[in-house]
Chain A
């Protein structure tokens, strides 16, 4: 048995479509919980409307946001996986097929950065990153489409032997720069260390962690808790019109590096698009958030 072109094409397209029509369960729970604690009436109302919007989209199988972003997949491949057919091509074809068949149709967001022309195809689209899982007989696919609204405000800076206070101050500076813009309450991903490229990937990966899951690294678990509190003292609030709820979670990943320490910060807007599946050699598909 092997993981085939057909199954990867179909699952990657399904994950993208579903990410547009519903928000993850952990995100709904977080919105409800923050709405209860929110002290501003405007902010409470906005959080409630967010939940209503997500529920209405799910109920009617409509889109939560008109901006479908661009398709972005993070794929982890078990070392015992066997493939049959062209798997990268399957992901490209899956998106093409979705564009032709999805109802309602998608707006054209794939942008050539050199000409600013927009369409449904483009170089290196969908964006896919790959990793390995030793010993596994499945591939794990996470779909997390990205749009300008929150994508625009990610930032990376390289420090030399920074202490934690320098890193945390930088995270807050990036939050202040984003301000009301990234459709808060956001999930903030931070990547510390490694190299330039690796820090950015860690930050992105951090946004994909489920809200409420405790960081297994105690130093980071503490840092996440105090940074969340700090970010929520800035006051930008839901949709940036004021309130206590600017962020639902701060998630941090780290890697060893050299003395130069990249710190990458990125944002997921409140709808926190994320769908996942594992495809096994047997052809079985297991969905999870």
Chain B
């Protein structure tokens, strides 16, 4: 039975630690989204130089979600959003998770073991959103809190959003070292000889 949670974001540390890999989560409250390598590079430069970031990421949910933001009068509107592949940010995330004590990261496809270690230390979860979920996920946007670094193309900007019932997202990595992605990769590698055996037998039956 899948456990489903409807939670307020950013998550408290206790709530983040209470989640388990495989749980289903609907997000309410405030999240930060970006899908840009240049954005991650800028954040890293801020960390290195001590320069202030345009928004406070302390304790935030920082998700690898690309969004289309544009100026609308004196404000910004976000027309749509959708997760992107998180693994390309693997090298940045352990530092960010520790430095900002992020409560949640996410996107799709997971993060590597080094990121998962940082998540365990801090009490942070990885949330897997539906790739190809643009219409459903975008319906959860309630308010655009801020759009920073808008000299960048829309999906690279650092966007703070207020959302209602965003999801469902699956907890892919929890704060206790349970990593669905690493486990599945390990299991698949372990099963490979058995799978090859079955393939060879099936081939023997059909090809002379």
Which A residues are within 8 Å of any B CB, using their own CB? 41-42, 45-46, 49-50, 52-54, 56-57, 60, 62-67, 104-105, 107-108, 118, 148-149, 152, 164-165, 168-169, 172, 176, 179-181, 183, 219, 222-223, 226-227, 229-230, 233-237, 239-242, 269-271
Contact indicator per residue, chain B 167-208, by CB within 8 Å of chain A (1) or not (0): 010101000000011001101110110011011101100110
Q: Could you tell me if B110 and A65 are in contact, using CB atoms closer than 8 angstroms? A: no
- Chain B residues lying within 8 Å of A242, measured Cβ to Cβ, are 22, 180, 184
A64 and B134 contact, Cβ closer than 8 Å, known pairs A180-B110, A229-B202, A235-B188 = yes
Inter-chain contact A107/B181, CB cutoff 8 Å: no
Q: Known: A164-B207, A241-B170. Is A234-B188 also a contact (CB below 8 A)?
A: yes
Is the Cβ of B85 less than 8 Å from the Cβ of A49? no
Partner of B134, one of A46, A49, A63, A219: A63
Q: A50-B132, A65-B131 are in contact. Are A179 and B200 (CB under 8 A)?
A: no
Give bound CA distance, A201 to B172, whole Å: 35
CB distance from B32 to the nearest CB of A (A): 17
Stretch at the interface among B74-82, B91-99, B116-124, B141-149: B74-82
CB-CB under 8 A for A234 and B135, given A118-B153, A168-B203, A222-B206:
no
Is B52 on the interface with A (CB-CB < 8 A)? Answer: no
- Chain B residue nearest in CB terms to A55: B135
List B residues 65-84 near A (Cβ within 8 Å): 66-68, 70, 79-82, 84
Contacts of A149 in B (CB 8 A): 84-85, 108, 131
Query: For this complex, into which size category does the number of interface residues on chain B fall?
Result: 35 or more
Closest to B133 in A: A53
A residues less than 8 Å from B131 (CB atoms): 65, 149, 183, 239, 269-270
Q: Offer 22 A-B interface pairs, CB within 8 angstroms, sorted by A.
A: A49-B133, A49-B168, A62-B80, A62-B138, A64-B134, A64-B135, A148-B84, A149-B84, A149-B131, A176-B185, A179-B188, A180-B110, A180-B180, A180-B184, A181-B85, A230-B195, A230-B199, A233-B191, A240-B184, A242-B22, A269-B132, A270-B132
Question: Total contacts A to B, CB within 8 angstroms?
Answer: 172
Complex contact A66–B110 (CB within 8 A): no
A107 partner, pick from B66, B132, B184, beta carbons under 8 A:
B66
Give the A-binding residues of B (Cβ under 8 A).
Answer: 1-2, 22, 24, 66-68, 70, 79-82, 84-85, 87, 108-110, 128, 130-136, 138-139, 153-155, 168, 170, 172, 180-181, 184-185, 187-189, 191-192, 195-196, 198-200, 202-203, 206-207
Q: Which of A42, A66, A152, A179 contacts B181 (CB 8 A)?
A: A179
